[in-house]
Each structure stands twice: as structure tokens, then as C-alpha cells.
Amino acid sequence: MEFSQRLLLKGKPLWEACLEHPFLNELGKGVLEEDKFCFYVKQDYVYLIDYIKLFALGMVKSDSLEDMQAFSKCANAIVNIEMDAHIEFAKKFGITKEELEATKPNADNLSYTKFMLQVSTEGSLAELVAALLPCMWSYAFIGKTLAKDQKALEHPLYREWILNYASEEFNNETDWCIKLMDKVAEGLPERHLQKLEEIFILSSKYEYMFWDGCYKKEGWII
């Protein structure tokens, strides 16, 4: 069994719990209050700024040119395409670029990104991938699941969000990261694999906390 399949067995129940959370449950039904989604859009914007740094660190820790190019491609896509798309999408909800840039991360957001950055800075490439993969993999899982429900696609703006993460392009990027996880985990001793599993599970739990904090609109408390 590939190591990623072992991680999937651990992560999928947590992602299913995310789908059952009121935020995604209501989004899927098209009834999520827009102010809660707007709160999420702002928090996601500042989250992505730190998430980009993980791909830059991935380039530093990679030994092969192929992996460096893949990390560079993902970082470039987020910096030069996804961030601009995020700004344009936010405008549809009346959120300005200035509001996005002024957003402070809430406690869950800040804790999550600091965890990933610390693991990625101090650890190996395998640990970095284990930390960043749950975000991509859970979003692909959520997007594809919600896209199967026609009801979820009736909301004109939530539909766009769902289809983005259900898209072939996003899922191809996720598949690359899953395969990289298997490659960098190959041949590692069980004690190291257990550490990677712990990192992966904790990042997955942070994903749930992120949705919960956005639903409750828990703001910056520092």
C-alpha cells in the first residue's frame, strides 16, 4: 500500500467531518449566510499568503530539478493567478482589495499557518509535504463531493467556488502532491512515517478548525 493511501484512511474521516460542518453543509445547500462566506474569503486570502511560502521552501528542500520546477509552478500559479482570481471573486461579494489586504488572521488561521511554516522550515521535504497536502487534498475532496449535488450548484457564486476545487486543473495539482508524498516517504523507517502521519492528521484537524472559525466569524483577538 502506498503511503498516501495510509494517509487517506486517516484523513478522509476528518474531511467528511468538514463536509458535515454547518459551514460546508449550508454552502452545499446554497443557504450559507453570505457574511460568513465573506469572512471565509478574507481569512483564506491571508492564509494563502503564508501557504505560498511552503512551496518556496519546497524548492529549497528539493534535490531534483523536476521537483523544484513543480514547486515553482505551483507557487507561481498561486502568486500570479490564484491571488488575482481571489481578488476578483471577492469583488462579487462587495469585498475590496483593500479590505482583503487589511484582514488579520484569526487565531485558528494563525496557528495553522505557523504550524505548517515551522514544520516546513525545521523538517525534511517529506515533513513539508505532509503539512501542506491536507489543504489541497481536502479541498479537492470537498469540491468533487459538492459538485455531485445539483442543489449545491444552484447558487451563482458558491457554484464558482465549488467548481474551482472540483476542476481537473486543481485535481491534477493535488495528484502531483500526492505522488510526491509517496516518493519522499519511500524507504523511510516506520518511526518517521508515523511522524509524517501525525503532521498530516494535525493539518487535517486544522482544516476543520478553519471552517469552524469562519462559521463563527471568530476574528483577530491579539
Residues with catalytic function: 135, 207
Give the CA radius of gyration of the chain: 17
Nearest in space to 204 (alpha carbons), one of 106, 138, 110:
138
How many CB atoms are closer than 10 A to CB 208?
18
48 with 80: CB under 8 angstroms? no
Would you report the helix, strand and coil content of the chain in percent, each value rounded to 5?
85, 0, 15
Instruction: Give CA–CA dist 115/44, Å, rounded.
Output: 16
Indicate the residue type of 116: M
